Chains A and B, each alone.
Chain A
Amino acid sequence: MEPASPPSFAFQELLPPFTAHEAAVEANRCLYCYDAPCLQACPTHIDIPTFIRKISTGNLRGSARTILESNFLGGTCARVCPVQELCEGACVLGKDHTPIAIGRLQRYAVDHVQERGVQLFQPGTPTGLRVAVVGSGPAGISASAELAKLGHSVTLFERRELAGGLSTYGIIVLREPVEVAQREVEALKALGVTVTTQTELTDRAGLDLLLSEYDAVFLGLGLGAVPAMGIPGEAHILDGLGVIEASKVAPETLRLGERVVVIGAGNTAIDAATVARRAGADTLMVYRRTEHEMTAYRHEYEFALHEGIRFTFLTQPIEVVAEGGQVTGLKCVQMRLGAPDSSGRPRPEAVPGSEFVIPCDTVIKAIGQEKPALAVALGLELEGGYIRVDDTLATSLPRVYAGGDCVRVRGSASTVMAVQDGKIAAAAIHAALSMAVPEHGAAD
């Protein structure tokens, strides 16, 4: 029997919005620290005590402005940031008490203006300069917004149907609904940014063309596909990002079996498993190391356990078993931890003769993403497979900048880091363009 598509309630935002009362109570709990650690812990340095104080005084528009001035994707970051690791992790009240729910307060303030379509920013005085931004994920949107506020004419190119990149397609609805990402795209358009979708940059010639038409180019390309596992039956494996995407933009098309196995143990793997679980499947995650080595945040792991997702560690898939085109199981081998490998983590080794089959009807892989393949095609200098950039996010090509996951060789990937990249690159592009163009009359 064809499995039914999941009920719509399974794919709603996990945390309800704060009520006005909840927000007021929580905001009033904030100590309004001076030189606050939460502000320092935020990669985009949102003035958190100030925005929270504004919530406590009922100045929601001012609060949202405080947030969005530092982080144009404040609505997305409020939902997807690992706040436990960042702002909330730094909250002084966390020392012997509960930290302030900074993420949810931020969401409350930003949603207040974005749900009402309030535009808080205006395009800057036109400079007559043109910037192309490739990729409409968090880095691209952030860069576009900052450049538009500085008066530059910005065109944002996106190869897919909807702009928003990761926010639109890659984050499960439980954490961020599509509408939130689209509201940020709308705010960008209100700043005068031209958003051109279904247009793809594929090679160096395309980049050269952009450079001939624009004064600068920012690349926010993201990452590549989920890598191949190189095991028999791989063609039957679903891509975790594809599953997440379907659950967001076309949940009615989602057809997962009753027993789903997810390969991997990062945050994306947990997201994919959550989709399967919410779709009603008995869901098992397999990971070749132990829970100590898994890359998912601790709170994500705990969330998964709470959702009823099961884990099997020290397990390496070696073959997808299928009969008549239908998956019936995933053959795995038992692993044990050996000496540390180059990442410093113990290297898993197969236990000879320990093969076994996990019966299932769907296999999903979420074992990371490949390095951005386009980076090579563009002829940019690379660093560990990612685009090489300097501190200002300038690439090896003049007038070309890059940010977000495609340069993320230097640190962990996250939306908020991409937003900050967009800000840094925009500032660098603005500085470079301002230097290149003398003030009117200065040449006389």
Chain B
Amino acid sequence: MADLSINFAGIRAPNPFWLASAPPTNSGPQIHRAFEHGWGGAVWKTIGAPVLNISNRYGGLSLGGQRLLAINNVELISDRPLDVNLREIAEVKRMWPDRAVIVSAMVDADPKAWRDIVMMIEDTGADGIELNYGCPQGMSERGMGAAVGQVPEMCQLNTHWVTSVTKLPVIVKLTPNVTHITDPAHAALAGGANALSLINTINSIMRVDLDTLQITPNIGGRGTHGGYAGPAVKPIALNMLTELMTDAEVLRSGVPICGMGGIQTWRDAAEFLLLGATSLQVCTAAMHYGYRIVEDMIDGLSNWMDDKGFATIYDVAGRSLPQVSTFGQLDLSYQAVARINPDKCIQCNLCYVACNDTAHQCIDLYAEGGIRVDPGFDPRMNGKGVADTRPTPVVREPDCVGCALCVNVCPVDGCIEMVSVPSGRESVTWDQLTAQRPAVTQQWAAMEAYRDEAGIEIH
């Protein structure tokens, strides 16, 4: 049985699953209930400056009947009185000493304001502080949230104000609404952050209602941008996590990273861990299905770790990072081709149309008896013998560039496989090639000469 417990910058938790600072962590009774379901920790919904929330607050993204692939919100930080929040934080921590209770905070860019809130948080007995430099809407217009996270100098200064007055671990939560996620990360480290967490929500307009022509959510006839989160943002979050985990300065600092952004199942969680996160936060999935989802997250992760022989979270953490590379370090001579398993193929021919229309026209249709045929049918057949005469797609391997579009459109798991084949060329990366022969990056003639030499045919 795998040990899922973690020690994240000194914050201990029985498992890495924390509820993110958001509506699921709005109050004491909620977090109490969440802990009963097994969550390893919770980041209390951001406390700080006085706010008023508006109605309504959420927009949802549906696709193909699948609800809530993403959610966007125009909700602000906690609108409950500060003293109520602080009292409940203290009560929850007293009742659940083994769980991580972290308080998210956001106040004006003023050292006194930060010192005051930090003192109040310390008094609750909470395990750590998370600085919310991410909120993309509402607070940023007031100079808080993303307005801090997007300006490295502000990020560093605000972080420093906090770290200089507290002994609690300080996590800086980064906004993804920047060009380079490493810039605010470096600033947070310079400000003394003990850990980083990412990603906060992404600026978004979710939808326009085609009946009313209103932006969704429609707030009394007006709409605004909101923070985008949920399963659809996971690839963006994984990339930003990877950017941090492959950044020399972040690695040198040794700070742990809490991953979040679209974690819905233990599988998503495992991916974040494999790319270097050592604690995880979840919000949208809990908002969609409730706290109960954590049971399968813990169970599934534990079973997978047992299957793989990983004893602790730290055995998993970062295991896939060595595979991360830059484009310039990839082997230009590597060759893969698509191969379609005729036994699994259901002949929907989506691979054929995708390849023929938008890729490299290297899939042919073959009828029974090995005769190549064109798509289409004889109307006089009146549907008779369809199953027998239905053509099967076959990859013309010498012409396949290995783009893998067909694999991605195929609806049958494992039907199309990308198979590595010998290219007959010596291994070379773009970085090596351009170092050896700079002209190939400058002149098409030089590039063509190199291609001829190497035997690379582009059709």
Contacts and interface: CB of A to CB of B under 8 A. Distances in A.
Contact of A93 (B346, B381, B382): B346
Main SS class of interface, B: loop
Interface stretch (B48-56, B85-93, B349-357): B349-357
Given A31-B411, A34-B353, A56-B64, A45 B379 contact: yes
B414 interface: no
B442 to A, nearest CB: 42
Interface in A37-92: 37, 39-43, 45, 56, 86-87, 90, 92
A417 B347 contact: no
Given A33-B349, A34-B353, A92-B346, A40 B377 contact: yes
B342 interface: no
Interface stretch (B137-145, B216-224, B305-313, B383-391): B383-391
B348 A90 contact: no
A33 B65 contact: no
25 contacts: A31-B348, A31-B411, A33-B347, A34-B349, A34-B352, A34-B353, A35-B349, A35-B352, A35-B377, A36-B348, A36-B349, A37-B347, A37-B386, A40-B377, A40-B386, A41-B383, A43-B382, A45-B379, A87-B383, A90-B383, A90-B386, A92-B347, A92-B348, A417-B382, A420-B382
A61 to B, nearest CB: 14
Nearest to B383: A41
B146 to A, nearest CB: 35
Interface size class of A (residues with CB under 8 A): 20 to 34
Contacts of A45: 379
A57 B376 CA distance: 25
A33 B350 CA distance: 6
Contacts of B382: 43, 411, 417, 420
Nearest to A41: B383
B64 A28 contact: yes
A36 to B, nearest CB: 8
A35 B383 contact: no
B64 A34 contact: no
B375 interface: yes
A294 interface: no
Given A28-B64, A40-B381, A34 B386 contact: no
Interface string B383-406: 100110010000000000000000
A95 interface: yes
A93 B411 CA distance: 10
Contacts of B64: 28, 56
Interface residues of B, number: 20
Contacts of B379: 45
B376 A37 contact: no
B374 to A, nearest CB: 9
A409 interface: no
Interface in A146-197: none
B356 to A, nearest CB: 9
Contacts of B381: 40
B334 to A, nearest CB: 30
Nearest to B66: A28
Interface of A: 24-25, 28, 31-37, 39-43, 45, 56, 86-87, 90, 92-93, 95-96, 411, 417, 420
A35 B376 contact: yes
A42 B383 contact: yes
A138 to B, nearest CB: 15
Interface of B: 64-65, 346-350, 352-353, 375-377, 379, 381-383, 386-387, 390, 411
Nearest to B349: A34
A40 B349 contact: no
A229 B390 CA distance: 44
A35 B367 CA distance: 14
A32 B352 CA distance: 13
B20 to A, nearest CB: 30
Contacts of B348: 31, 33-34, 36, 92
Nearest to B379: A45
B377 A86 contact: no
A310 B376 CA distance: 45
Contacts of A87: 383
B386 A41 contact: yes
B347 A40 contact: no
Of all A-B residue pairs in the complex, the 7 with the closest CB atoms, nearest first, are A41-B383, A34-B353, A35-B375, A92-B346, A33-B348, A34-B349, A28-B65
A32 B350 contact: yes
A326 B350 CA distance: 64
Nearest to A33: B348
Nearest to B381: A40
Contacts of B350: 31-34
Counting chain A CB atoms within 10 Å of each CB, the highest count among B376, B377, B382, B383 belongs to B383
Contacts of A24: 65
Counting chain B CB atoms within 10 Å of each CB, the highest count among A43, A87, A420 belongs to A43
B210 to A, nearest CB: 9
A24 B65 CA distance: 7
Given A31-B411, A37-B390, A43 B383 contact: yes
B93 to A, nearest CB: 44
A31 B353 CA distance: 13
B209 to A, nearest CB: 13
Given A33-B348, A34-B375, A35-B352, 16 more contacts: A24-B65, A28-B64, A32-B350, A33-B349, A34-B349, A37-B386, A41-B383, A43-B382, A56-B64, A56-B65, A86-B383, A90-B386, A92-B346, A92-B348, A95-B346, A420-B382
A36 B350 CA distance: 10
Contacts of A93: 346
B387 A90 contact: yes
A37 B353 CA distance: 15
Nearest to A95: B346
Nearest to A37: B386
Contacts of A42: 383
A40 B411 CA distance: 21
